[in-house]
Structure 1
Amino acid sequence: MLRTKMPEKTWTDVAIDFLGPLPSGHSLLELVDYFSRFTEVIVMKQITAELTVNALFESFSRFGIPETMRSDNGPQFISEPFKVFCEEYGITHQKTTPYWPQANGEVERMNSTILKRLRISQEEKCKHWKWDLKSFLQMYNSTPHSITGIAPSALMFGRVLRDKLPSLQFPAGIVSEDVRDRDWEKKLEAAEESNTQRHAKKSDLKEGDTVVAKRIVKDNKLSTNYGSELFDILSREGAEAEIRSKESGKVYRRNVGHLKRFVEECQAEKHDNIEADVRVGEATEADRRSRRDMKTPQYLKNYITNVNGNNRFED
């Protein structure tokens, strides 16, 4: 799995995503800074494109306008108001490969963390879950991150946010290069461990190859993992490939992990292989059914035996 390199500065590359809806009907708009891992969460009752733009602008008014925003292909993020908003403020919008949420890993991991916290709140029958969420975020942003070794707020603002627990203030003059080196080293270790556990191999798919695509939703339990529709790879950049359907001509973006090369075999070769398999199978079956020589036991030598099992004594 490919890893994203750490940006040069804070709040230049921001990941965004929606979590929800929750049982209360609310949804959470999450913003995660790829440099510091500083996390901002906005609670929303409705998540239309216009309200999403307003919520983002509210956050940017506090922390500044990022250079790049990464999101999935949710309807709010591919809408016309969102596109106009990004163009107006000079934001490069990077959409992840469809059906591959790992491409926006930072915010996806935060989704899991926040969900865990909300489940605990529900189990403890906490009435003020919004307050509990804010308390969790304050604690998260003030705690040294497992990858960078520094609290997200310290990298974001140059100081640790004060909380209930006494802590040492972060020294001025953060050495960003050391943080980036540590970040990249940890990511490479995680990638190597993940590839080893999954026995992953590097994909050799290239432009011009004919492939089949993995089914995102199966029709039933008997459906195959890959569909029968054929696609041509138009281009490939990293783990993302642009493919075109041979049948409809439509163009899609897919991760190469969802593609498999199609190899067309000659029908005559198939027939020969089938006949060879049958001959081998017959020979094997014949060998398996061979029997040993049967001899009449001594105590039956004065008898004539027949297939019906009736024995007759012979003088």
Structure 2
Amino acid sequence: PTMITDIRNHLDSCLPCAQNNYRRQKLPGKLKPIQPPEGIWKLLSMDFHGPITPTTKQGNRYIISLTDILSKFVIAKAVRDCSASTATKFLINDVILKYGTPTCILTDNGTHFTAQLMNNLFQHLGVTHLYSTVYHPQTNGQIERFNATMDGKIAALCNERRTNWDEVLQY
């Protein structure tokens, strides 16, 4: 009968969780939600996160992640750099070959996403590439929120030196 209370007490007593999971509340005001896409895999959001210190044993310093805006399905992978080549390989090998080609992808204006290599890939696949407003990360808020949540979870699961964050990324 006290299971919910027991679970809350157990979670509240987890020191790494308490240190790394920040509570965030929205400021009061009018909400301006974006219209949801017509279906899954229609609008995806992609971003690099990092550099994360320390570098892992495998040399990874960044995380590239992609979120389906409608279903909230996330694909994340630890990578060594944040180049256009890395983003292209991730899209082809970890996204398109496994799940199919999306209709539209939203990214920030980083050079890794504005590079000719990315534009050629999107044009070849027939994918619409949308850019978020410069210096306005809220445009791509869903992936930015995932990155913030992921930081706390990874920190709670890592070893003390935090050199294995790429190994716990899948959890």
What TM-score does the superposition give when structure 2 sets the normalisation length?
0.73
Equivalent of 1:30 in 65, 73, 77: 65
Shift, 1:39, TM fit: 0.4
Q: Equivalences for 1:90-105 in 2 at 5 Å?
A: 90-105=126-141
Task: Give the match for residue 11 of structure 1.
Answer: 41
SS state at 1:55 partner: helix
**CA–CA distance in structure 2, aligned partners of residues 109 and 91 of structure 1:** 24
CA–CA separation in structure 2 for the residues paired with 1:130 and 1:94? 29
Q: CA deviation at 1:123?
A: 6.7
**What residue identity is the alignment partner of 1:107?**
I
SS in 2 for 1:115: helix
Q: How many residues align?
A: 135
Q: Give the gaps of 5 or more residues in structure 2.
A: 1-30
Counterpart AA for 2:50:
G
Q: After superposition, give the CA deviation of every residue in 1:71-117 in whole Å (9 maximum; x if it has no partner).
A: 11001111100111110000111101100000111101001011111
Aligned partner letter, 2:99 = F
Hey, what does 1:89 align to over in structure 2?
Answer: 125
* Residues 64 and 79, structure 2, Cα contact 8 Å, conserved in 1: yes
Distance in 2 (CA, whole Å) between partners of 1:74 and 1:63 is 25
In structure 1, distance between residues paired with 2:81 and 2:67:
21
What letter matches 2:137 in structure 1? P
**Which of the pair is proportionally richer in helix?**
2
CA distance in 2, matches of 1:43, 1:13: 22
- Contact kept, 8 Å, 2:158 with 2:164, in 1: the verdict is no
| Residues 1:134 and 2:134 aligned together | no
Identity %: 26
CA-based RMSD of the aligned residues comes to 1.7
Once the 2 structures are TM-superposed, how far is the Cα of residue 62 of structure 1 from its aligned partner? 0.5
Greater length-normalized contact order (CA 8 Å, ≥ 6 residues apart): 2
SS at match of 2:113: coil
Residue type of the partner of 2:89? N
Corresponding residue for 2:146? 110
In the TM superposition, 1:161-176 aligns within 5 A as: none
The gaps in structure 1 that reach 5 residues or longer are 136-315
Larger Rg: 1
Distance 1:20 1:89, change over 3 A: same
